[in-house]
């Protein structure tokens, strides 16, 4: 509903196939400086970003295209950074869960472990 209402008041050629191709080409060119792989942005994603830019503020078509290109590039870079961070944490997680350290040939410090029968500093007062 919102998409059809916004497309009626959008500038001519704003949601056309040629504008999608132009934005896709620019995004690919900008992201090729930072990433080795080719980045392909589908038409639905471009349409959603163009709609967001159009809802924010009505500008000239060139300026709205530039805003859409910047937004797509920023979203992709943010997604990639988050993905790399998650994969790095996932890669080193098993090593953090090991009880025995193979490098230093040491195990956990058992003197620091408090058993349930030992007194602790916690006090509970029931009123």
pLDDT in tens, 37-60: 999 999 999 999 999 999 998 889
Q: Report pLDDT for 62.
A: 93
H helix intervals, 1-127: 2-8, 17-31, 43-56, 61-96
Are the C-beta atoms of residues 4 and 36 closer than 8 Å to each other?
no
Q: Report pLDDT for 54.
A: 92
Q: Report pLDDT for 118.
A: 59
Q: Which residues of the chain carry a pLDDT beneath 70?
A: 1-8, 98, 100-101, 108-127
Q: Report pLDDT for 7.
A: 59
Q: Report pLDDT for 78.
A: 96
Q: Report pLDDT for 72.
A: 97
Residue 79 CB-density burial (10 A; 0-12 exposed, 13-18 middle, 19+ buried): exposed
């Amino acid at each position: 509903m919102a998409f059809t209402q916004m497309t009626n008041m959008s500038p001519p050629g704003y949601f056309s196939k040629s504008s999608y191709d132009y934005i896709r080409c620019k995004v690919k060119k900008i992201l090729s400086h930072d990433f080795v792989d080719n980045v392909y942005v589908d038409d639905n994603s471009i349409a959603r970003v163009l709609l967001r830019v159009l809802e924010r503020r009505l500008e000239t078509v060139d300026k709205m295209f530039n805003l859409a290109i910047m937004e797509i590039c920023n979203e992709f870079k943010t997604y990639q950074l988050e993905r790399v961070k998650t994969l790095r944490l996932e890669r080193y997680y098993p090593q953090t869960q090991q009880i025995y350290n193979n490098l230093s040939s040491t195990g956990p410090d058992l003197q620091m472990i408090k058993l349930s029968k030992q007194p602790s500093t916690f006090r509970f007062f029931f009123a």
